[in-house]
């Protein structure tokens, strides 16, 4: 068959490569696979309405498509095995037929033949199949390359540019590095900041939240402006002491999307110093607040509290309620991590925060349940009594939980014992197979032992015979 011409093939490959941001080799491979699927569709349509499709799933596995970029066309090629008697014309070829062309051909060799159909015979259905498969393969290649490119990024924070809007999501263009092509990423509504102005071509720092492995029509990357990792990254870039390791970020609690519009975004960052002479809070804030101001500007005015971490829970909880002034911190239930914090009346609203935001973030940061109490109205005896009731209730719930777990474990053990007993009485087929295999193994092992014993017996008899012959030989030597 002659080469099927595809005018403008090179330009088509270059245009697809540029549009999809894929290498030309990848586009060529996708095109070959699509043309092969089109040929398979062409062969199957020959039987439509006449008889049942005779082709199995792997029937066309020995077929391939060769692209000729110089003459801009393609050929369908089939690898066939040389046999004496042909049973499948698509997979085999007669030895006598090959001998007419190549006299040194042997039975069992493989030859590649051109089986390209005429362009007019290819059919509209086959052409449509080729187009659909090509689009699908290109999407698969795009997704695979995006996953490989972004899955193992050391730096999860990227610079993103707003492209368009889809429903409540913002579609952004991101790049994994200098010189790499941009790909689309989705910023969902829940990961946006209320103070951001997402206008076209505006740029933002975003945190790479997820690389989707599920086939999707839209972007495979999901980014976030509300993730706490973005705050950590910004501080690491602005504070040299964090990069050097003398200051470390211990914990971050962030509320980027408060439940009420009257409450703005807020973050609390707990920092610690490895070296005594370094002030971790001062290092993060910078001279006249220059360093933390850069972070605040990037987060569009989000309020950030930098507090000092402490191994002492009392001091850590007091620091976490900054900027409120704390008088006493009582760890009323250390095991359950429950604390009462006593503050002056004028500090009560500041410690709680607007709609409870300050104490809520402090609780997330420290991991303790914090109750803010007025120091002038605090009745320690009644509070201790109430806490004792809570502790008793918690211990009772824990005991019930342990009892339920033990009962469940006992039921599972009894069920397993009953199952074992029933399988002894009524063995399943697989159990019999296992028993037979064990018996065979045991018999084989006993046979090996018997063979080894016989070999040892023969070897002992040979040694004994040699020992019996030795004196005779010595006597003969003596006679001589």
Q: Tens digit of pLDDT for each residue in 2-18?
A: 688 888 888 989 988 88
Residue 306 has pLDDT above 70, yes or no: yes
Q: What is the pLDDT of residue 236?
A: 93
The answer to the question of residue 414 being in a domain is no
75 vs 67: CA distance, rounded Å: 7
pLDDT in tens, 125-159: 777 888 888 888 887 777 777 766 676 666 688 89
Q: Which of 113, 146, 179 is the last residue of a domain?
A: 146
Average pLDDT over residues 303-319: 95
Shared domain for 206 and 92, answered yes or no, is no
35 vs 64: CA distance, rounded Å: 9
Residue 238 has pLDDT above 60, yes or no: yes
User: By the 8 A CB rule, do 298 and 315 touch?
Assistant: no
The answer to the question of residue 73 being in a domain is yes
* Residue 82 belongs to domain with CATH number: 3.30.1480.10
Q: Find the DSSP H helices in 245-379.
A: 280-285, 290-298, 313-320, 348-352, 357-366
Residue 122 has pLDDT above 90, yes or no: no
Work out how many domains the chain is built from and give that number: 3
Residue 414 has pLDDT above 60, yes or no: yes
User: By the 8 A CB rule, do 137 and 26 touch?
Assistant: no
Q: What is the pLDDT of residue 463?
A: 44
Residue 439 has pLDDT above 80, yes or no: no
The answer to the question of residue 200 being in a domain is yes
Q: What is the pLDDT of residue 478?
A: 40
Shared domain for 29 and 88, answered yes or no, is yes
Q: Predicted confidence band at 180 (pLDDT cuts at 50, 70, 90)?
A: confident
Q: What is the pLDDT of residue 64?
A: 93
Shared domain for 108 and 41, answered yes or no, is yes
Shared domain for 117 and 12, answered yes or no, is yes
Report which listed range, 332-341, 381-390, 425-434, is most confident: 332-341
Quote the mean pLDDT of the chain. 84
Q: What is the pLDDT of residue 184?
A: 87
* Residue 172 belongs to domain with CATH number: 2.40.50.140
DSSP run (H or E) holding 73: strand 73-83
Residue 466 has pLDDT above 50, yes or no: no
Shared domain for 84 and 160, answered yes or no, is no
Shared domain for 15 and 134, answered yes or no, is yes
Burial of residue 200, with CB atoms counted within 10 A of its CB: 0-12 exposed, 13-18 middle, 19 or more buried: exposed
**In this predicted structure, which of 216-220, 269-273, 466-470, 475-479 has the lowest mean pLDDT?**
475-479
Shared domain for 445 and 472, answered yes or no, is yes
Shared domain for 134 and 193, answered yes or no, is no
Shared domain for 47 and 129, answered yes or no, is yes
The answer to the question of residue 344 being in a domain is no
The answer to the question of residue 382 being in a domain is no
Q: What is the pLDDT of residue 94?
A: 92
Extract the tokens encoding 263. Answer: 């409450």
For 442-479, b/e burial (b = at least 16 CB within 10 A) is eeeeeeeeeeeeeeeeeeeeeeeeeeeeeeeeeeeeee
Shared domain for 8 and 141, answered yes or no, is yes
Shared domain for 129 and 188, answered yes or no, is no
Q: Which of 146, 179, 202 is the last residue of a domain?
A: 146
Q: What is the pLDDT of residue 4?
A: 82
DSSP run (H or E) holding 32: helix 24-45
DSSP run (H or E) holding 378: none
Shared domain for 92 and 171, answered yes or no, is no
333 vs 339: CA distance, rounded Å: 7
Q: Predicted confidence band at 446 (pLDDT cuts at 50, 70, 90)?
A: low
The answer to the question of residue 284 being in a domain is no
Extract the tokens encoding 162. Answer: 């707003």
Q: Predicted confidence band at 52 (pLDDT cuts at 50, 70, 90)?
A: confident
The answer to the question of residue 397 being in a domain is no
Domain residue limits at 55: 4-146
pLDDT more than 90, % of the chain: 44
Higher pLDDT residue, 187 or 442? 187
The answer to the question of residue 476 being in a domain is yes
**Could you identify the residue written with the tokens 């987060």?**
299
Phi-psi region of 355 (alpha: psi -120 to 50; beta: other; left: phi over 0): left
Residues in the chain: 480
Q: Which of 146, 166, 184 is the last residue of a domain?
A: 146
């Amino acid at each position: 068959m002659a080469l099927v011409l595809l005018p403008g093939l090179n330009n088509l490959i270059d245009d697809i490569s540029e549009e999809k941001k894929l290498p030309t080799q990848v586009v060529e491979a996708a095109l070959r696979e699509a043309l092969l699927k089109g040929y398979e569709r062409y062969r199957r349509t020959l039987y439509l309405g006449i008889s049942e499709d005779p082709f199995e799933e792997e029937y066309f596995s020995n077929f391939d498509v060769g692209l000729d970029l110089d003459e801009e066309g393609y050929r369908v090629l089939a690898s066939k095995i040389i046999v004496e008697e042909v049973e499948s014309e698509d997979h085999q070829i007669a030895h006598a037929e090959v001998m007419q062309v190549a006299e040194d051909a042997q039975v069992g060799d493989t030859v590649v033949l051109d089986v390209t159909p005429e362009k007019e015979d290819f059919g509209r259905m086959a052409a449509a199949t080729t187009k659909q498969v090509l689009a699908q393969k290109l999407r698969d290649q795009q997704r695979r390359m995006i996953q490989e490119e972004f899955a193992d990024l050391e730096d999860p924070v990227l610079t993103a540019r707003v492209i368009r809007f889809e429903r409540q999501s913002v579609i952004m263009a991101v790049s994994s590095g200098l010189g790499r092509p941009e790909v689309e990423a989705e910023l969902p509504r829940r990961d946006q900041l209320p103070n951001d102005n997402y206008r076209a071509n505006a740029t933002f720092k975003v945190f790479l939240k997820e690389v989707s492995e599920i086939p999707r029509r839209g972007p495979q990357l999901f980014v976030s402006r509300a993730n706490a990792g973005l705050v950590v990254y910004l501080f690491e870039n602005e504070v040299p002491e964090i990069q050097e390791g003398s200051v470390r970020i211990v914990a971050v609690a962030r509320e980027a999307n408060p439940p009420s519009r009257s409450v703005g975004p807020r973050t609390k960052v707990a920092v610690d110093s490895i070296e005594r002479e370094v002030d971790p809070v001062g290092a993060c804030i910078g001279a006249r607040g220059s360093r933390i101001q850069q972070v605040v500007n990037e987060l569009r005015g989000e309020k950030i509290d930098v507090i000092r971490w402490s191994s002492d829970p009392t001091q850590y909880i007091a620091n976490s309620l900054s900027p409120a002034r704390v008088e006493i911190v009582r760890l009323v239930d250390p095991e359950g991590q429950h604390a009462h914090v006593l503050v002056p009346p004028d500090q009560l609203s500041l410690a709680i925060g607007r709609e409870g935001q300050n104490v809520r973030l402090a609780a997330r940061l420290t991991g303790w349940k914090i109750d803010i109490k007025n120091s002038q109205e605090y009745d320690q005896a009644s509070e201790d009594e109430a806490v004792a009731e809570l502790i008793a209730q918690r211990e009772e719930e824990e005991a019930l939980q342990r009892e339920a777990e033990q009962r469940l474990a006992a039921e599972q053990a009894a069920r397993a014992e009953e199952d074992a007993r029933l399988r002894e009485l009524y063995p399943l087929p697989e159990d019999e197979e296992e028993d037979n295999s064990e018996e065979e193994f045991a018999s084989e092992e006993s046979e090996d032992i018997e063979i080894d014993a016989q070999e040892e017996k023969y070897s002992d008899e040979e040694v004994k015979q040699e020992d019996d012959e030795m004196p005779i030989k010595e006597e003969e030597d003596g006679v001589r």
